[in-house]
Structure 1
Amino acid sequence: MGRPPTRPIKFRDGFYIEIRNKGKNTGIKLHRDTKEQMMRTVKEYEQTKDVIILGESINGKWVNKTPIHHVPGS
């Protein structure tokens, strides 16, 4: 087991979503270059996973401050 990282994560420019197993508190963050690609990925995972749309990152800063919990079928 190694030492944990101490530097904060630098997010690339683009759109981010978080994919979680249903009922869990942690998941993985996925990066997509365009909003259309992000929405296609949301449609792919919405039936089996909890999807949280984190939003757009530009120059390491979030454009919107609050994540959106995606409800299937919306």
Structure 2
Amino acid sequence: MKDYYFLPSSDPIYALSRSYPYEYKFTTERGVNFYVKSSKFEQDYPLGSVQRVRLEKQVEKDYFTILAQNCRLEIQRQ
């Protein structure tokens, strides 16, 4: 999965599933859940900011890419 949003440590800012250290849950406008490490996420990416909109679009793009891959695999199995 591609991720263009990096912290200085080059760890992705978000994950699509909850696992340590990605424990703070957020939801995009389209209803896609994602998890972040930082409790300061809303401070760093305020709702409505350009950075937050870009991040949420990337979250949704990654999510729908994974869904499409899973659908293709399911169709191949049938």
**Going by fraction, where is helix more abundant, 1 or 2?**
2
**Going by fraction, where is strand more abundant, 1 or 2?**
1
TM-score (norm 2): 0.30
Higher-RCO chain (CA-CA 8 Å, sequence separation at least 6): 1
